[in-house]
């Protein structure tokens, strides 16, 4: 592995290790968010640009490093910035963070994976190059697939960067809005499990199916 890759990998490992060593996850809980909501609102009222920039920087780092806490950050966006602006900020930050994770994985690991499994992956890569947007949109809309795993797995394929970026940006809007909108009514939330109901999951699954239909149609047509 090239020295640049080793440095990048070591840097990511150090940052992830520091997150868990200092137990920073304690600040990304529903209890902590409720306890500090008023302080966050007061700070946002007097330092609007810094609050927005700081929030987005934290969200980007959390997503890029595949750390836990995305749901709490989305709730915090709704509690601090409101449903509309909170959704906008989280969407931009999550898309940037996911793209960084995608690029780092591609830079560090894709060549090694293709060298070892290139022949077996060739059919999948051809499919992703032509209809990757529909597949990615399906994966983003249906919340059965972990967000961070999609970022990492996509980086190992030949899915075009532009397709990944815009597929992610569009695909995470519904799920992001659900959490951000819930955060706008933070006082009524007692657990994360109550936010995404079976009805909401069913709606996401239906949206995902519609996103996948063009790819399925072309495949069966052939």
As a whole number, mean pLDDT of residues 35-62 equals: 97
What is the structure's pLDDT at 93? 98
When pLDDT is cut at 50, 70 and 90, the band that residue 209 belongs to is: confident
- Higher-pLDDT residue of 154 and 209 is 154
Burial category of 140 from C-beta neighbours within 10 Å (exposed 0-12, middle 13-18, buried 19 and up): buried
pLDDT, the chain, mean: 90
Question: Does pLDDT of 217 surpass 70?
Answer: no
Of the candidates 102, 205, 197, the residue with the CA atom closest to the CA atom of residue 144: 205
- Report the interhelical angle of 48-64 vs 147-155 (nearest 10°): 60
What is the structure's pLDDT at 67? 96
Q: Can you tell me the distance from the alpha carbon of 134 to that of 155, in angstroms, rounded to the nearest whole number? A: 17
Q: Can you tell me the distance from the alpha carbon of 4 to that of 115, in angstroms, rounded to the nearest whole number? A: 20
Q: Model's pTM, two decimal places?
A: 0.91
When pLDDT is cut at 50, 70 and 90, the band that residue 130 belongs to is: confident
Of the candidates 145, 151, 143, 138, the residue with the CA atom closest to the CA atom of residue 192: 143
Q: What percent of the chain has pLDDT over 90?
A: 64
Question: Does pLDDT of 35 surpass 70?
Answer: yes
When pLDDT is cut at 50, 70 and 90, the band that residue 118 belongs to is: low
Give whole-number Cα distances, 175 to 71, 91, 143, in Å.
10, 10, 8
When pLDDT is cut at 50, 70 and 90, the band that residue 113 belongs to is: confident
Q: Cβ atoms within 10 A of the Cβ of 192, count?
A: 14
As a whole number, mean pLDDT of residues 15-32 equals: 95
When pLDDT is cut at 50, 70 and 90, the band that residue 40 belongs to is: very high
When pLDDT is cut at 50, 70 and 90, the band that residue 83 belongs to is: very high
State the chain's maximal CA–CA distance in angstroms.
Answer: 60
What is the structure's pLDDT at 222? 61
Query: Which range (41-45, 168-172, 183-187) has the least confidence?
Result: 183-187
Question: Does pLDDT of 55 surpass 80?
Answer: yes
Burial category of 114 from C-beta neighbours within 10 Å (exposed 0-12, middle 13-18, buried 19 and up): middle
Q: Cβ atoms within 10 A of the Cβ of 69, count?
A: 18
Q: What are phi and psi of 100, to 5 degrees?
A: -65, -45
Question: Does pLDDT of 147 surpass 90?
Answer: yes
**End-to-end CA, the chain:** 41
């Amino acid at each position: 592995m090239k020295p640049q890759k080793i440095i990048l990998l070591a840097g990511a490992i150090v940052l992830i290790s520091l997150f868990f060593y200092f137990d920073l996850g304690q600040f990304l809980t529903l209890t902590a968010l409720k306890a500090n909501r008023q302080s966050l609102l007061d700070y946002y009222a007097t330092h609007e640009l810094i609050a927005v920039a700081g929030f987005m920087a934290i969200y980007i780092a959390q997503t890029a490093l595949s750390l836990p806490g995305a749901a709490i950050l989305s709730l915090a966006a709704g509690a601090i910035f409101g449903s509309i602006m909170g959704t906008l900020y989280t969407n931009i930050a999550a898309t940037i963070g996911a793209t960084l994770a995608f690029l780092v994985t591609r830079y560090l690991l894709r060549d090694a994976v293709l060298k070892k499994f290139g022949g077996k992956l060739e059919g999948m890569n051809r499919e992703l190059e032509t209809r990757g947007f529909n597949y990615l949109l399906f994966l983003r809309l249906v919340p059965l697939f972990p967000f961070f795993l999609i970022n990492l797995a996509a980086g190992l394929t030949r899915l075009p960067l532009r397709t990944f970026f815009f597929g992610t940006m569009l695909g995470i809007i519904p799920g992001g809005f659900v959490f951000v909108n819930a955060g706008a009514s933070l006082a009524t939330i007692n657990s994360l499990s109550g936010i995404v109901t079976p009805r909401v999951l069913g709606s996401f699954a239906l949206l995902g199916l519609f996103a996948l239909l063009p790819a399925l149609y072309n495949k069966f047509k052939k």
